[in-house]
Structure 1
């Protein structure tokens, strides 16, 4: 099984995906690690990526997901997957690929991004990410609303219960 934790920058994808992988004793991968240097530079400048910018990144991730499925490697992947077609490209509608959507308000996520250090995505990027986001439907992904009060362990328990 592949679990893709998705959402805009600052929604907690990496934190939740890592904790989920730890709880399930499987590998954790961050899709950001597969962006080209040019994409990372563009993001760090607050410039949104185009579909063309994302294409090679999505192709790489798709190949990795197919490999993990073919070799029975349970994996939790933190990945923005903002558009339906990106999610389709990643999953091929394979039922072994599950999506978990971390949903939060613009205000909450902007606050998180302002407080976050050492990451190339900054608050300037958030507006374009929300504009690009095609929220997954409840039948497409497990929906987890982000609450500043909710601790990571509780979110991981909710995800495991839903899977």
Structure 2
């Protein structure tokens, strides 16, 4: 017997670094008064230490983190009508790990190209930006395709308020379909 509430949903706000995931999800969470989790907070100590030394994570490093996010999504959908999790979820297999056992989980993809995101990251005041970090994010990205029906892409070339409005409209539309 499942204890999950059938109308409770978790949305993973995903995309490469600098795509606006945190800004968009933060504004959405405030407007929706919903559950919110920045997935970076669930990295194990070993991942944090590795990244702080400038070393990229591999799939083995990410596995325990993705399991922790999967568990968090399960808990959130049991207790909140809407929850948001910020997570890059760059590869399809990562998204599949998050989906596993979480029937009411879907993704909102911050969709933008390298030039746009690079220019935005360079314009940030006080932000330490290494272009090779963004290159590696795009190299790892497996953009969601038509086979992933639970992914809603938001065009991030628009102003932040419009991106947030599109994502909120998707959630509202999704809620009315259930």
Q: Distance in 2 between matches of 1:122 and 1:44?
A: 14
Q: Distance in 2 between matches of 1:35 and 1:119?
A: 22
Q: Distance in 1 between matches of 2:16 and 2:24?
A: 13
Aligned to 1:85: 93
Aligned to 2:174: none
* TM-score, with length taken from structure 1: 0.86
SS in 2 for 1:18: helix
Larger radius of gyration: 2
Q: Distance in 2 between matches of 1:47 and 1:38?
A: 11
Q: Distance in 2 between matches of 1:121 and 1:53?
A: 23
Q: Distance in 1 between matches of 2:53 and 2:38?
A: 20
Structure showing greater relative contact order (alpha-carbon pairs closer than 8 Å, 6 or more residues apart): 1
The 3 A distance-change label for structure 1 pair 75 and 143 is: same
**TM alignment of 1:13-162, pairs within 5 A:** 13-44=21-52, 46-72=54-80, 74-92=82-100, 94-116=102-124, 122-138=130-146, 139-147=149-157, 150-162=158-170
Q: 1:9 aligns with which of 5, 9, 17?
A: 17
Q: List alignment gaps of at least 5 residues for structure 2.
A: 1-8, 172-178
Q: List alignment gaps of at least 5 residues for structure 1.
A: none
Q: Which moved more, 1:40-49 or 1:108-117?
A: 40-49
* TM-score, with length taken from structure 2: 0.79
Q: Which moved more, 1:137-146 or 1:43-52?
A: 43-52
The 3 A distance-change label for structure 1 pair 76 and 35 is: same
Alpha-carbon contact 1:101-1:143 (below 8 Å) kept: yes
Measured after TM superposition, the shift of residue 92 of structure 1 is 1.9
